[in-house]
Amino acid sequence: MKATILASTFAAGALAQNGAWGQCGGDGWSGATSCISGYACNYVNDWYSQCQPGTAAPTTTAAATTLVTSTKTAPPATTTTATASGKFKWFGVNEAGGEFGDGIFPGRWGTEFTFPDTNTIQTLRTQGYNIFRVGFAMERLVPNTLTSSFDNGYLTNLTQVVNSVTNSGAYIVLDPHNYGRYYGKIITDTDAFKTFWQNVAAKFASNSKVIFDTNNEYNTMDQTLVLNLNQAAIDGIRAAGATSQYIFVEGNQWTGAWSWNVTNTNLAALTDPENKIVYEMHQYLDSDSSGTSTACVSSEIGVQRIVGATAWLRANGKKGVLGEFAGGANSVCKAAVTGLLEHLKANTDVWEGALWWAAGPWWGDYMYNFEPPSGTGYTYYNSLLKTYTP
């Protein structure tokens, strides 16, 4: 998820100007319609405009900074094509911990970082969840350089989780939770990135239940670089002989679904000889899509923020997965989450599934905690979410 790097930017949300990446317009929007210096209010779709770096882009409707007062509503969740099955391929949960202790490398298992509890994962398995996205830190798996040898202890712990999940019949997503960075610096060496992925894929090439996620939430990076890093990862994975696995590719600007169709259009050019690319997007329902608040903008915001991504996937003949989503434990968010999932379910010709953010043994009282048996997100949302399992 988008980490606390943006938290201070949004602290003054009630002021006359919106912060970076905040909502600034759209049907029914009653908040501020201007942005802080260096950002402009750009149209994303009829229901959502956002403060993005630079100057405002031309819109295809009324100016995004104008308060819209029409009675238009979001497209109904049942809008779909004849090929949509209404059933997800995957539905599950993110499992955090291996990436904790940011900036403390290598760190100590049990102190700076941990790994998911396979017993609680099995609890979720018994309820139908069939995919788990497990975060790890590249700096711990391959210390010093992207082409270094593996840290055997860290790899062993990660592999034990992989084997536990996949032996149960579920899928596991290997998620280098690095935001397109290595030791805090943007990754620019595509050859080294390819080698990293070739080495990782070689360890799991025989396990078809493993899914490779190229990197978590590329952001504030050159758009062509994001394209090239994703392609390098694909090429490295296939060069390792890992040909049966799906590959989740992520986009720039935190891989946000809300702005995908205006930010990540060049990623349609990615190629895979096995034709197993799935476009992973993330979507939160608070005012800036950051996932840092229990409040959701409205009961319809889930659908409103995803419709543009759905249209992009269909227009380009691509498949997508919502790799992170969540909402606060309240009725407005629950309605928004339900609307979001119903839209995805009605459009399963392009959407393969979704994963809640997040479970993990160290979340404590975190607002979205989905760790059984007592996590806030788990106790409030499990009865709803498990109805969407395959």
Residue 300 falls in the annotated catalytic set: no
217, 300, 352, 371: which one is catalytic? 217
| Secondary structure class of 131 (helix, strand, coil) | strand
The answer to whether the peptide bond before residue 372 is cis (omega within 30 degrees of 0) is: no
DSSP 113: B
Q: Which token pair is 132?
A: 């788990």
| Neighbour-count burial for 161-176, b at 16+ CB within 10 Å, e otherwise | bbebbbebebbbbbbb
Q: Which token pair is 223?
A: 């758009």
Write the DSSP assignment of 47-108 as a string of letters. Answer: TEEEEEESSPPP-SSS-TTSPB-----PPPTT---TT--S--SEEEEEEEEET-STT--S--
Question: Strand runs (DSSP E) across 245-309, as ranges?
Answer: 247-250, 277-284
How many angstroms separate the CA atoms of 55 and 339, rounded?
A: 32
95, 99, 300, 324: which one is catalytic? 324
Containing 307, the helix (H) or strand (E) segment is helix 301-315
| Secondary structure class of 36 (helix, strand, coil) | coil
Burial (CB < 10 A; 0-12, 13-18, 19+), residue 379, is middle
How many angstroms separate the CA atoms of 38 and 241, rounded?
A: 46
- Of residues 275, 284, 374, the one with CA closest to residue 322: 284
Residue 342 falls in the annotated catalytic set: no
How many angstroms separate the CA atoms of 259 and 266, rounded?
A: 13
Partner residues linked to 98 by β-bridges: 136
- Of residues 209, 268, 275, the one with CA closest to residue 238: 275
Catalytic positions: 217, 324
